[in-house]
Amino acid sequence: MLEIKFVRQNLPTVQKAVENRGGTADWEAFNRADAQRSAVLNEIEQLRHQRNVASEQIARLKKNGQAADAQMADMRSVGDRIKQLETELTAQEQILGDILLGIPNIPDPSVPVGRDEKDNPVIKTVGRPPEFDFQAKGHWDIGEQMGILDFARAARIAGARFPLYLGAGAHLERALINFMLDIHTNEHGYTEVLPPFIVNRQSMTHTGQLPKFEQDLFKLENWDYFLIPTAEVPVTNIHQGEILTEEQLPVYYTAYTPCFRSEAGSYGKDTRGLIRQHQFNKVELVKFVEPEHSYEELERLLQNAETILQRLGLPYRVVTLCTGDLGFSAAKTYDIEVWMPAQNMYREISSCSNFEAFQARRANIRFKRKGQKGTQLVHTLNGSGLAVGRTVAAVLENYQQADGSVVIPEALRPYMGGKEKIAP
């Protein structure tokens, strides 16, 4: 959410930014409700002042045993008027709140203007795609032939877009989770957390999934609870409503969680394999930082995620999301895309974003500087470090052998009981 004052004072900037993202908002309704709200609030405050003064007077009269019937009668009508205006105020604030919650974040000036993912500039490419002297297979074929992935049975248990890992497949998924968590905690200074996988409506609103994107979420029936689509939601909300101290910052958390997404509107896309699932595992990185450092923190967050791919020896590239492809809450996002041989293309495996104060304002996460009055909103960042299912897919495809086996990346072997390859 943007600050109402900021929107009011920078309307052209905000309008331009929303337009660049391909969004819309009812600016006229905003102006109307904003003016109306101020007028009503002003009158309410005056009346309340009047009432406060009169109440004191009534208290004094009564203490002296004098009558105060006239004052009390006056105040009764003032009270009625206040109540009436308060209803009006609530209505206007509702309108404003709805509009403000629906306005996306303003992109950082360094974000390129563009329409969609085709306009995302590649900022670097690391590693070289492997060359095979045989026809490279998709990870779904590799996995099913070795009996470590079983999509048919998963479909019977739950439905399409659910995974079932077996044997070495399940072990590989678990190994990757531990591998990633160990690196982020031991080498990158993150604190491991294991949060709730179900959250309430407020938390979802704080990070920006709600109110706009409810159709992307799984909601529990008869409960106002949702399955998390990413650990970003519970982890960012760890500090909702808090005032942190300057010395506490920066705070780094890493969390493994399953993620649940309805994938509404993606029918027919990535129907095979582990790329697009209703349930997948992810190791997430979340940061709370001082505003003046958030962009250097974003660069380091990106590096932290890249480290995993480098250690696994997977080829990848990094793109900057253009304005049209940027997520609702983000001010700037880098996507890391891993090379997928069977599809002969790079696929997103991590998304690293700086939300600036957007989420912090919604979630009311502030900090106080030593010796300074007042508080300031923190900046929040997060990034996948990495999406585990897609990492499994990338390992299977990039390390596949002619005989149908898959070599385990060296760095991962300690996590696989020393095993060097997965064979049929």
Partner RNA sequence: GGAGAGAUGGCCGAGUCGGCUGAAGGCGCUCGCCUGCUAAGCGAGUGUGCGGGGAAACCUGCACCGAGGGUUCGAAUCCCUCUCUCUCCGCCA
Instruction: Assess whether 366 carries a catalytic annotation.
Output: no
Given 25, 39, 54, 193, the residue binding RNA (CB under 7 A) = 54
Instruction: Answer for the pair 385, 184: CB distance below 8 angstroms, yes or no.
Output: yes
Task: Tell me if 59 contacts RNA by CB under 7 A.
Answer: yes
- Angle at 257 (CA atoms; ends 255, 262), nearest 5 degrees: 135
Sheet with 191-193, edge to edge strand ranges: 122-126, 316-320, 332-340, 345-356, 379-387, 279-289, 251-260, 191-193
- Of the two residues 51 and 171, which places its CB atom closer to RNA in the complex? 51
Q: Lay out the site mask for RNA across 226-255 (x = CB under 7 A, - = otherwise).
A: -----------------x------------
Contacts of 365 (CB under 8 A, 6+ apart): 236, 239, 240, 241, 242, 244, 288, 359, 377, 378, 380
Q: Please tell me which residue in 350, 351, 353, 384 is annotated as part of the active site.
A: 351
- Of the two residues 121 and 196, which places its CB atom closer to RNA in the complex? 196
Instruction: Answer for the pair 318, 122: CB distance below 8 angstroms, yes or no.
Output: yes
Beta strands (DSSP E) in 261-344 are 279-289, 316-320, 332-340
Q: Residue 307 region, left (φ>0) first, then alpha (ψ -120 to 50), else beta?
A: alpha
Instruction: Assess whether 347 carries a catalytic annotation.
Output: no
Least gap, CB of 62 to RNA (angstroms) = 5
Q: Lay out the site mask for RNA across 89-128 (x = CB under 7 A, - = otherwise).
A: -x--------------------------------------
Task: Tell me if 75 contacts RNA by CB under 7 A.
Answer: yes
Lookup: tokens for 80: 């009625």
The residues facing 337 across adjacent strands are: 317, 348
Residue indicated by tokens 């699932």:
277
Instruction: Answer for the pair 164, 149: CB distance below 8 angstroms, yes or no.
Output: yes
Q: How many chain residues are in contact with RNA, going by CB under 7 A?
A: 30
**Amino acid at position 110, single letter:** S
Binding to RNA in span 24-53, by CB under 7 A: 41, 44-46, 48-49, 51-53
Binding to RNA in span 359-418, by CB under 7 A: 366, 368, 371, 373-375
Distance of CA 32 to the CA centre of its chain: 31
User: Nearest to residue 262, comparing CAs of 277, 274, 272?
Assistant: 277
Sheet with 243-245, edge to edge strand ranges: 243-245, 366-368, 376-377
CA-to-CA dists, residue 232 to 34, 46, 115, angstroms: 32, 43, 26
Instruction: Assess whether 174 carries a catalytic annotation.
Output: no
Instruction: Assess whether 261 carries a catalytic annotation.
Output: yes
Task: Tell me if 220 contacts RNA by CB under 7 A.
Answer: no
Tell me: cis bond preceding 112? Omega within 30 of 0 counts.
no
Instruction: Answer for the pair 413, 421: CB distance below 8 angstroms, yes or no.
Output: no
- Of the two residues 118 and 373, which places its CB atom closer to RNA in the complex? 373
Q: Lay out the site mask for RNA across 310-349 (x = CB under 7 A, - = otherwise).
A: ----------------------------------------
Task: Tell me if 10 contacts RNA by CB under 7 A.
Answer: no
Q: Please tell me which residue in 37, 161, 261, 361 is annotated as part of the active site.
A: 261
- Cα–Cα dist 273/168, whole Å: 17
Instruction: Assess whether 390 carries a catalytic annotation.
Output: yes
Given 11, 29, 79, 167, the residue binding RNA (CB under 7 A) = 79
Least gap, CB of 194 to RNA (angstroms) = 13
- Of 76-84, 120-128, 264-272, 296-304, the window that binds RNA (rule: CB under 7 A) is 76-84
Least gap, CB of 196 to RNA (angstroms) = 11
- Of 57-65, 115-123, 177-185, 378-386, the window that binds RNA (rule: CB under 7 A) is 57-65
Task: Tell me if 58 contacts RNA by CB under 7 A.
Answer: yes
Enumerate binding residues for RNA (CB under 7 A): 5, 41, 44-46, 48-49, 51-56, 58-59, 62, 71-72, 75-76, 79, 83, 90, 243, 366, 368, 371, 373-375
The residues annotated as belonging to the active site are 261, 276, 348, 351, 390
